Amino acid sequence: MAGSRRPTRRSARELAFQVLYGLCFSPAADRAALWRLFVLSPHNEGMSEADLDRDPSGFAWELVEGVWSRTAALDEAIGRFSRNWRVDRLGRIELTILRLALYELLWRDDVPPKVAINEALELAREFGDERARAFLNGILDAAAKAPRGGAGTPDA
């Protein structure tokens, strides 16, 4: 594998998911701490301590930072679209997948809704409970069909 090869968006999403899932257990107090956790994540094979001094960049970082900085709004949106499920009752894997996918649906114009949903279902297939995929799909489909500008969306 060539050292200059850029990661695919799918592998970047997987890395972002793994870092965000880790934040469920070891939260970052500020952006600098978040960058440190991102760089030093055991799942981030492309970086080392030497990268701590450079400016954060890349798709995986954008996802991690975007979800981290909008967690409250994302959780509000999850609560709105999940009907009858409180966010605190969701498993951490499913919650992390939902936060990531909703961030892409609501704040990333460069990711088509169908792609965000399909990628979330792939993450659920790889890391989550088989039975959760229909639940995740329902929430994400409802979010994708909702008009923009409601609570928890970028236009609010």
For residue 102, what is the domain's CATH number?
1.10.940.10
1 in any annotated domain: no
Domain range enclosing 28:
9-69
Q: Are residues 102 and 57 in the same domain?
A: no
Residue 62: its pLDDT value, please?
97
Considering its fold, how many domains does the chain have in total?
2
Low-confidence ranges of the chain (pLDDT < 50): 1-4, 150-152, 155-156
> What pLDDT was estimated at residue 123?
97
- Residue in this structure with the two tokens 């994400």, named with its chain if needed: 140
Q: For residues 54 and 41, is the Cβ–Cβ distance under 8 A?
A: no
133 and 97 within one domain: yes
Q: Are residues 97 and 54 in the same domain?
A: no
Q: Note the pTM of the prediction, 2 decimals.
A: 0.88
For 27-56, what is each residue's pLDDT tens digit?
A: 999 999 999 999 999 999 888 898 888 888
The total number of residues written for the chain in this structure: 156
Contact of 98 with 109, CB cutoff 8 Å: no
State the Cα–Cα distance between residues 142 and 62, nearest whole angstrom: 24
| 22/34 same-domain check | yes
